[in-house]
Amino acid sequence: MFTVIDLFAGGGGFSYGFKSEGFIISAGVEINPSACRTYERNISPLQMFCTDIRTISGREFENQNPDVVIGGPPCEAYTPVSLNRMDNPIDRLYLDERGRLTLDYIRLVAHLQPKVFVMENVLQITEGQLKYALIEEFRQAGYERIYFNVLRSENYGSPSERTRVFISNIYFKGYLERFRVSRKTTVWSAIGDLPKPDFPHDIPNHSWVDIPKKFKKRWEKLRFGQSALYFGKGDKVFKDYTKLHPEKISPTVKGSGRFLHPYQPRLLSVREQARLMTYPDDFVFEGGLNEQYNQVGESVQPLISKLIAKAVKEYLTNGNKNWDFTPSFPR
């Protein structure tokens, strides 16, 4: 069986797909205590380090030769939603303390030298000279060919939009084309069978969450797809508390973002947002309510992690025999 170490493990969305595909999860590293509990409950790694990754040298791992290292360093330094994002893209990697955590991921990849690594982040981590800086950092870590696999989760059946880049030493986007779907999954097809949260049920993380008072009166007036809150800086405008259209795909689920239920005067429950992120109902989130929302919204969708795990397993098993995972085309 192939082994995985998960850095910036969060609640376990990335690891879940690999575990589902038969990989052994050797270790997880996560700083947030509640996310650690969620990860341990659902993933059961052989080792769990609930600590700041900057304190990890790599020698702590019992498995010093993992087949795969995965992880999603924090995106706050790179995402345009962050209103204090540095103007110069290269500064986001080398000067922003949050962005520098990406270098800690690369440092541990350099130490462990896995056969495959996969690092997830927002697409903006490739802006400007950032892409070439990352290529050089991974080259110094021992990997000559770097691929930027950009995946849109809704193309594979997710009921929510999510575009992310998966930086790896193998190219798997082309391999995953066979799993694309022609028919999109709507919000209501994902959450419509759940009972009202205030009715008797035994579904975890599915409780009634009131709309904040300042937005409550707006719920009835909002049409599907409209938002109760708009914010931004300069020409950057973002929205939150969107009243979901039941027959369309949901906007991107974010850790700090909330959605209004299309038919009931309340926020979507953690379970409903987890459904939009393709989590099964038996995946239980620990911690306070906001922490649970964050674990859902700041994760890799299990649907996508499972597809990536399929591709990685094919590469580890057969190399380039059935599919060229290491093409020579420009990165």
The catalytic residue positions are 75
Distances (CA, A) of 191 to 104, 211, 274, 280: 38, 18, 10, 12
The answer to whether the beta carbons of residues 157 and 303 sit under 8 Å apart is yes
Q: How far apart are CA 143 and CA 114, in angstroms?
A: 10
The tally of CA atoms less than 13 A away on the side-chain side of residue 145 is 13
Residue 186: DSSP 8-state: P
Query: What's the chain's Rg over C-alpha atoms?
Result: 20
Tokens in use for 216? Answer: 């409550």
Q: How far apart are CA 3 and CA 33, in angstroms?
A: 24
Element (H, E) at 104: helix 101-112
Tokens in use for 225? Answer: 């797809």
Q: How far apart are CA 132 and CA 218, in angstroms?
A: 46
- Give the β-pairing of 24-29 and 3-7: parallel
The tally of CA atoms less than 13 A away on the side-chain side of residue 245 is 12
Distances (CA, A) of 26 to 5, 62, 74, 104, 161: 6, 8, 22, 19, 31
